[in-house]
Amino acid sequence: MSSVSPIQIPSRLPLLLTHEGVLLPGSTMRTSVDSARNLQLVRSRLLKGTSLQSTILGVIPNTPDPASDAQDLPPLHRIGTAALAVQVVGSNWPKPHYTLLITGLCRFQIVQVLKEKPYPIAEVEQLDRLEEFPNTCKMREELGELSEQFYKYAVQILDAVSLEERFKMTIPLLVRQIEGLKLLQKTRKPKQDDDKRVIAIRPIRRITHISGTLEDEDEDEDNDDIVMLEKKIRTSSMPEQAHKVCVKEIKRLKKMPQSMPEYALTRNYLELMVELPWNKSTTDRLDIRAARILLDNDHYAMEKLKKRVLEYLAVRQLKNNLKGPILCFVGPPGVGKTSVGRSVAKTLGREFHRIALGGVCDQSDIRGHRRTYVGSMPGRIINGLKTVGVNNPVFLLDEVDKLGKSLQGDPAAALLEVLDPEQNHNFTDHYLNVAFDLSQVLFIATANTTATIPAALLDRMEIIQVPGYTQEERIEIAHRHLIPKQLEQHGLTPQQIQIPQVTTLDIITRYTREAGVRSLDRKLGAICRAVAVKVAEGQHKEAKLDRSDVTEREGCREHILEDEKPESISDTTDLALPPEMPILIDFHALKDILGPPMYEMEIAS
């Protein structure tokens, strides 16, 4: 108890009518002001007043303010709270209103209402001594926060003048609150450390936080995840250095509150370390005869490339710990460099992962970001290993000749460590900050030219030239691979369309002149689409003829067969019968579908 004389509130107070909550002495609340009398009170007293006394209001609970000042003042509650207006915030949306931050000082009793307009003013009698509440923060720590159910009894507590009456009303409410908390504790899921978690009413503990079972469940789930993560770290087969780093990070994670931004970063880092395939690998298929058959079935020609793959398999049979070679396929677009990479992975029985490097101009895409940055993540090499789940996949570095360079660094320089067999056994990603062994990874790079590849990077790769196809090779590729693929994509069968080799040669020499077969594939797709239209129209006409008279149909067929020319897709007459199958694609049909030839002069093979 302070020895200073008690502070007296003014004997006349302007009244702020509220019905949202109850302001108790020593507590703070926000209230919205949007009615006529209350708005006039704020504008006249709080906004225009200059003295401390003008910021003291009388807050009357459980009394709604009429919307218009023309209406009579409702009966006022007898007991109110003198409050100090700490903050006033105004807004015009959706309608003019103010938000007040007020702190309760003491209670008062209304003696007489002196004035009703423009806002009510009353003569009041102070009921509490202000020095009884010298420290509002300490008061809130001692009493804690009241639950929502407690507020409906707050008016009765406010009306209790003597301390004895207030205790008689408050203690049963606190007992009821404690019983409810004990019931919630019993329904919670039992744990091994339940004896350490005792629900106790402490000064700083918020009752609403203790009763929040959903928050407890989330915390329990997070604890379970950390336990599982620790178990995975213990059972993983990562190297000793990586294991030490993970153990150190998991200890930091246990001591770290979940609200810290570093909590999620550390947890993501540990999950990545656990998921990486440190010692997990696939068994290579080393049967050279089966590998040769598989490569021949997938790709025609490319003898030099197939020979190099078979040489690797032969040496791999003789030496188990052979390091993965660094190959670079250089050739014009459309010759199948990317698809050969898939076939190599299929031949070896390894996982395949493609990394597109065209346009990459940040070295962090290769080495990753350091964990000090916000939004840091590992590089594409480590991400690819996490995706495939083994440490000996086939990595295809596509378009390595189109790497860029910017202020963020040179990714071609970052690849020097990755593509060097003498260094990549100790590759360190900036995000991991732990060495990872890439020596078992088979790297295959593709490029259209070696002119734009830096000399140091070119020196680390074994260059295999993939030349363009000859006419005979393109014809063979079209009939072995492209035409069956297009027929399957367009729902056609060999019984519906025939493309002879002469027609394929006309397409190659007169419509497509390229080193690869991409344009040839597109032209074959256009032919298949045109045939699909004819086949669909023929089915529609067949259904129409089935519904017509049989004798009329026979007469119509005889008339058509007399005047009918040899079947070709170039016929534009609207026949009553479907076209005869299979539809033969000749030079006239090509001209009708693909237009006039782009190149009139044939080139020699």
Among residues 114, 143, 172, the one where a domain terminates is: 143
In a domain, 204, yes or no: no
Q: What pLDDT sits at residue 301?
A: 86
Regarding whether 434 and 294 lie in a shared domain, the answer is yes
Per residue in 102-139, pLDDT tens?
999 899 999 999 988 888 999 999 988 776 444 444 44
* Confidence band, pLDDT 50/70/90 cuts, at residue 68: confident
Please compute the mean of the pLDDT values over residues 195-224 and round it to a whole number.
47
Exposure of 347 in the CB half-sphere (CA atoms within 13 A): 30
What integer is the mean pLDDT of 284-295? 90
CATH at residue 440: 3.40.50.300
- Residue 132 domain flag: yes
Domain ranges, residue 397 = 288-465
Q: Are residues 266 and 309 in the same domain?
A: no
pLDDT given at position 416: 92
Higher-pLDDT residue of 228 and 552 is 228
Residues 6+ apart with CB under 8 A from 41: 14, 15, 16, 33, 57, 118, 119
Q: What per-residue confidence (pLDDT) applies to 143?
A: 39
Q: Is the pLDDT assigned to residue 89 strictly greater than 60?
A: yes
451 in any annotated domain: yes
pLDDT at 293: 92
319 part of a folded domain = yes
Average confidence (pLDDT) over 391-404:
93
At 146-196, the pLDDT tens digits run 444 455 567 777 777 777 887 787 888 788 878 878 877 777 655 444 444
Give every CB contact of residue 50 below 8 A, 6+ residues apart in sequence: none
pLDDT at 218: 56
Shared domain for 511 and 490, answered yes or no, is yes
**Same domain for 512 and 394:** no
- Percent above pLDDT 70 for the chain: 82
Of the residues 275, 310, 345, which one is the last residue of a structural domain? 275
Element counts in the chain: helices (H) and strands (E): 21, 15
Contact partners, residue 511, CB within 8 Å, separation at least 6: 519, 523, 590, 594, 597, 598, 599
Token pair, residue 535, equals 């086949």
Q: Are residues 382 and 489 in the same domain?
A: no
- Its sign, for the CA torsion 242, 245, 247, 250, is negative
Helix (H, G, I), strand (E, B) or coil at 209: helix
User: How high is the pLDDT of residue 327?
Assistant: 93
Domain end residue (candidates: 465, 486, 502): 465
**Does 575 reside within a domain?**
yes
**Shared domain check, 318 and 460:** yes
Cβ burial of 228 (10 Å; 0-12, 13-18, 19+) is: exposed
In a domain, 195, yes or no: no
pLDDT at 73: 85
**495 vs 549: which has the higher pLDDT:** 495
- pLDDT tens per residue, range 168-180: 878 887 888 788 7
Q: How far apart are CA 301 and CA 295, in angstroms?
A: 10
Q: Contact at 8 Å (CB) between 45 and 54?
A: yes
What is the average per-residue pLDDT within 570-579? 46
The pLDDT score that the predictor gives to residue 479 is: 94
Residue 280's identity, in one-letter code, is K
The answer to the question of residue 56 being in a domain is yes
| 329 contacts 449 by C-beta, under 8 angstroms | no
Give the model's pLDDT for residue 323.
82
Beta strands 442-447; 435-436: pairing state? unpaired
Whether the per-residue pLDDT at 382 is higher than 90: the answer is yes
Confidence of residue 94 (pLDDT cuts 50, 70, 90): confident
Whether the per-residue pLDDT at 261 is higher than 90: the answer is no
pLDDT above 90 (res 74): no
Q: What is the pLDDT of residue 183?
A: 78
Whether residue 386 is found in the same domain as residue 242: no
What is the pLDDT of the chain when averaged over all its residues? Answer: 82
The helix, strand and coil proportions of the chain, stated in percent and rounded to the nearest 5, come to: 45, 15, 40
Report the distance separating Cα 121 and Cα 140, nearest Å: 30
Total tally of structural domains belonging to the chain: 4
Question: The CATH number of the domain where 128 resides is what?
Answer: 2.30.130.40
Quick one: 260 and 362 in the same domain?
Answer: no
Q: What does the pLDDT average to over 490-509? A: 92
Instruction: Report the CATH number that the domain containing residue 484 is assigned in CATH.
Output: 1.10.8.60
Are 263 and 299 part of one and the same domain?
A: no
In terms of domains, do 299 and 258 share one? no
- Look at residue 128 in the predicted model and tell me its pLDDT: 82
Does 544 have pLDDT greater than 80? no
Buried b (16+ CB within 10 A) or exposed e, 197-212: eeeeeeeeeebeebbe
Q: Tens of pLDDT along 439-461?
A: 999 999 999 999 999 999 999 99
Pairwise CA distance, residues 199 & 210, whole Å: 8
Q: Residue 577 carries which DSSP code? A: S
Q: For residue 579, what pLDDT band results from cuts at 50, 70 and 90?
A: low
pLDDT band at 541 (very low <50, low <70, confident <90, very high): low
Q: What does the pLDDT read at residue 568?
A: 45
Asked whether 412 and 403 are in contact (CB, 8 A), the reply is: yes
Long-range own/partner contacts, residues 297-300 (CB < 8 A, 24 or more apart)? 298/339, 298/343, 298/346, 299/336, 299/339, 299/340, 299/343, 300/473, 300/476, 300/477, 300/480, 300/481
Secondary element (H or E) of residue 553 = helix 550-563
Full DSSP string of 406-429: BTTB-HHHHHHHHT-TTTGGGEE-
pLDDT value at residue 528: 95
CA distance 305 to 303: 5
145, 190, 155: which is closest to 62 by C-alpha?
A: 155
Residue 204's pLDDT is 37
Q: Using 50, 70 and 90 to split pLDDT, how confident is the model at 469?
A: very high
pLDDT band for 273, please (50, 70, 90 cuts).
very high
Residues 264, 308, single domain; the answer is no
Residue 132: predicted pLDDT: 47
CA distance 219 to 364: 35
Give dist(CA 368, CA 370) in Å, integer.
Answer: 7
pTM of the predicted structure, to 2 decimals: 0.59
> In terms of domains, do 501 and 364 share one?
no
Looking at residues 46-58, what average pLDDT do you find?
Answer: 85
251 within some domain: yes
